[in-house]
Amino acid sequence: MSTTPDSGQSALPEDPTPAAPAAAPEAGSDKLDRGVLAIAAVVVIGAIMSILDVTVVSVAIPTLQRDFGVELTTIQWIATGYTLALATVIPLTAWAGDRFGTKRIYMISIALFVTGSVLAGLAWDITSLLVFRVLQGLGGGMLMPVGMTILTRAAGPHRVGRVMSIIGVPMLLGPICGPILGGWLVDSFSWRWIFFINLPIGVIGLLLAARILPRDGKGIAGKLDLLGLALLSPGLALLIYGFAEYGSQHGFGHAQVIAPMAVGAVLLVGFVWHALRTPQPLIDLRLFANKVFSASIVTMILMIIAVFGGMLLLPIYLQTVRFETALDTGLLLAPQGIGAMLAMPIAGQLADRTGVGRIVPVGLAIIGGSFWWLTGLQADTSYWHLGIALFVMGVGMGFTMMPTFTGALQTLRRRSIANASTTLNITQQVGASIGTALMTVILYVIATNKFTEAFGPAAAGAADPAALAALPPEVQAQVLGIQATAFGQTFWWALAFVAVAFVVALALLPKRKPEPLEEDDEAGTGAPVMMH
């Protein structure tokens, strides 16, 4: 089967194996057949490995900070370095999948991710750990977008809601199993095992990918947009680096923050100018002519800034204010994943039946309600109340995350999915980086101001565990109360991002499910359909 190149991107490669029919489902068939489900199982394993790694590492951050003797703003580079690597390789995903075949790229990504994981587990200092986390990111960067491309091509646009709910499985398991698994490994063995655990999962993923995924071979890829790559990847990396330094330097008034962000912004503007004038750009910005796709992107990045930033705050609160172990922290965070697990399959079914504009605003309102409750965090907040708030947040995420992805893909033709998946994953990673850096510095600024007001400028370091232990009990209680209040006030900022996302989703996302699209349009360019 041959197709026409899509907006400067290559045609879909041929699928000569028996699994190939899954890539071209009949328009009237809504049931996910065994071939699609088998492919989904392989994709989910890779996604679980990638997402589980993020949630496992988040619980270990206080332990890593203590063992390496560095500040929180330094140890956050364990997450930021990984994200920088993701931002570097994700733009290559669509081209690499067409040039070398999605199956090959998927397997190479798993192998590189596992190699980086094992080396990170063997790290001897903070520098080596950061280097190996970057190597992990280079492998993990393509796992989700390539996996999404493989699965959505196999299922077809009319079943994208169902397959998005399948991809959502690791997003369910991550918040439940990740913190618990990470806490158990850190408490019972060593932080090194949070990286070693990826080895058996990766080996299983490689074996199943080799056996089950269709051999799509080398596609007819367009010429690699080298100028676009030279502008986009460094631009994204510098922008994320600037946000991370914003956290480290505690503000924008530093050359380490301003310079990389300014250069990154210039490079990204240059990429936009270049991409709109070249027939085969690295990322097809003409996708943004689709109003639904654009609204989905804006909604998603605002929501991810809030949610991922909030997900960073809670483990730190539990371990620094409540003195919980890593394992207990994981158990206390589990209600969030349980809520998502119950909500996401329902949301996937609804997304295939009605417009995502009826689903996503509801999910955002639920997330906003949980954030509003968390603004009242105290040093003695009931764990029952905290668990209910986390469960509600999970339900909101279940009704928001995957339906937003679905809304972005439903109005695109099948040959646009690779480019759209790449763009969505870039947006997700950039949003997560901005969210973690932004919420970290907001927390630091609020806490510092409150400590200064209470104890004077010389007492800003009273929250340090070593300094805290030396204080009288009544002063310790006051310090912990100030810390808890700072966490709560930081959630007001997360709530503000969710509120803006709610307005965008309510106004711009479609209230009806779009009609299935024909693969051939009049212009033959595969341009996305405009939705009004």
Task: Going residue by residue through the chain, which has 532 residues, state the pLDDT in tens, using 9 for 90 and above.
Answer: 333 333 333 333 333 333 443 444 444 455 666 777 788 888 888 877 877 777 777 778 778 888 887 776 677 677 777 877 777 787 787 778 778 888 888 899 999 999 999 999 998 888 888 889 888 888 887 887 788 778 777 776 566 666 666 666 665 566 567 778 888 888 888 889 989 988 998 999 899 988 888 776 555 556 778 888 888 888 877 887 777 676 565 556 677 778 888 998 999 999 999 988 888 787 778 888 888 888 888 998 999 888 888 877 888 888 888 888 878 887 888 888 788 888 887 887 787 778 888 899 999 999 999 999 999 988 889 999 999 999 999 899 889 887 888 778 777 766 676 677 777 777 777 787 778 777 877 887 788 788 777 776 655 555 555 566 666 777 778 888 888 888 999 999 999 999 999 999 988 888 887 765 555 443 333 444 433 3
At the top level of CATH, the class of 32-223 is mainly alpha
Q: Which of 438, 188, 403, 449 is nearest to 292 (CA)?
A: 403
Show the tokens assigned to 236.
């994204």
Largest CA distance in the chain: 77
Helices (H), 321-416: 326-351, 360-374, 383-398, 401-410
pLDDT of residue 374: 93
Q: Compute the distance between CA of residue 231 and CA of residue 429 in angstroms, rounded to an integer.
A: 18
pLDDT of residue 3: 36
Q: Compute the distance between CA of residue 32 and CA of residue 520 in angstroms, rounded to an integer.
A: 24
Is 121 in contact with 127 (CB distance < 8 Å)?
Answer: no
pTM: 0.71
Show the tokens assigned to 222.
């367009």
- Give the three-class secondary structure for 206: helix
Q: Please enumerate in sequence order all residues whose Cβ is within 8 A of that of 352, keeping only pairs 6 or more positions apart, or say none.
A: 30, 158, 159, 160, 161, 162, 406, 513
Q: Compute the distance between CA of residue 409 and CA of residue 510 in angstroms, rounded to an integer.
A: 13
pLDDT of residue 516: 57
Domain boundaries, the chain: 32-223, 225-281, 287-513
Q: What are phi and psi of 124, to 5 degrees?
A: -110, -15
Asked if domains 32-223 and 287-513 share a fold, the reply is yes
At the top level of CATH, the class of 287-513 is mainly alpha
Q: What are phi and psi of 17, to 5 degrees?
A: -85, 165
- Give the three-class secondary structure for 9: strand
Q: Compute the distance between CA of residue 462 and CA of residue 464 in angstroms, rounded to an integer.
A: 5
Is 105 in contact with 149 (CB distance < 8 Å)?
Answer: no
Q: Compute the distance between CA of residue 17 and CA of residue 268 in angstroms, rounded to an integer.
A: 40
Q: Which of 505, 71, 92 is nearest to 295 (CA)?
A: 505
- Give the three-class secondary structure for 316: helix
Report the first-to-last Cα separation within the chain, whole angstroms. Answer: 33
CA distances from 277 to 21, 173, 319 (A): 36, 42, 51
Is 36 in contact with 163 (CB distance < 8 Å)?
Answer: yes
Can you tell me which residue has the tokens 């041959």? 2
